Amino acid sequence: MQLQGVHHITMITRDARRTVAFYADVLGLRLVKKTVNFDAPEAYHLYFGDEQGSPGSLLTWFEFVGIQQGRAGAGMIHTIKLRVASPDSLRFWADRLAQAEHPSEEHQHSLTFQDHDGLRLQLVLADQDSLPLRAEHPQIPPQHAISGVQGASAYVLRGPQGDARLLTETLGFTQTGEGSWSLQGRGARFSWSCEISAQRGIQGAGTVHHIAWHCPDEDHVAWRRHVAEAGMHVTPIIDRSYFKSIYFREPQGILFEIATTSPGFAVDEDPQHLGEHLCLPEQHQHLRTQLERLLTPIVNPRSAAAEQR
Ligand code: ZN
Closest CA relative to residue 301, chosen from 8, 14, 17, 70: 17
What superfamily does domain 6-308 belong to in CATH? 2,3-Dihydroxybiphenyl 1,2-Dioxygenase, domain 1 (3.10.180.10)
CB 74 within 8 A of CB 198: yes
- Tell me how far the alpha carbon of residue 45 lies from the centroid of ligand 1, in angstroms: 10
Name residue 257's amino acid.
E
- Can you tell me the distance from the alpha carbon of 247 to that of 39, in angstroms, rounded to the nearest whole number? 13
What b/e string do you get for 55-66 counting C-beta neighbours within 10 Å, with b at 16 or more? Answer: bbbbbbbbbbee
pTM: 0.97
Q: What is the pLDDT of residue 309?
A: 63
Name residue 309's amino acid.
R
- Tell me how far the alpha carbon of residue 309 lies from the centroid of ligand 1, in angstroms: 35
Q: What is the pLDDT of residue 198?
A: 87
Q: What is the pLDDT of residue 244?
A: 98
- Tell me how far the alpha carbon of residue 275 lies from the centroid of ligand 1, in angstroms: 17
- How crowded is residue 212: how many other Cβ atoms within 10 Å of its Cβ? 22
Name residue 50's amino acid.
D
Closest CA relative to residue 24, chosen from 135, 126, 151, 173: 135
Q: In what order do the strands lie in the sheet with 58-63?
A: 30-37, 40-49, 58-63, 6-13, 208-215, 255-260, 244-249, 238-239
Q: What is the pLDDT of residue 57?
A: 98
- Tell me how far the alpha carbon of residue 245 lies from the centroid of ligand 1, in angstroms: 8
Each domain of the chain, given as residue ranges in start order, spans 6-308
Q: What is the pLDDT of residue 304?
A: 72
- Tell me how far the alpha carbon of residue 9 lies from the centroid of ligand 1, in angstroms: 7
Closest CA relative to residue 116, chosen from 167, 177, 61: 61
- How crowded is residue 15: how many other Cβ atoms within 10 Å of its Cβ? 18
- Tell me how far the alpha carbon of residue 243 lies from the centroid of ligand 1, in angstroms: 9
Closest CA relative to residue 89, chosen from 131, 125, 135: 125
CA distances from 195 to 73, 98, 152, 175 (A): 10, 29, 11, 14
- Can you tell me the distance from the alpha carbon of 136 to that of 54, in angstroms, rounded to the nearest whole number? 14
3-state SS, residue 285: helix
- Tell me how far the alpha carbon of residue 107 lies from the centroid of ligand 1, in angstroms: 31
Tell me the average confidence (pLDDT) per consecutive run of 10 residues in the chain, 309 residues long. Answer: 97 97 98 96 97 97 96 97 97 98 95 98 94 96 98 88 88 95 94 92 97 98 97 97 97 96 96 95 96 94 77
End-to-end CA gap in the chain = 48
- Tell me how far the alpha carbon of residue 246 lies from the centroid of ligand 1, in angstroms: 9
Name residue 173's amino acid.
F
- Tell me how far the alpha carbon of residue 108 lies from the centroid of ligand 1, in angstroms: 32
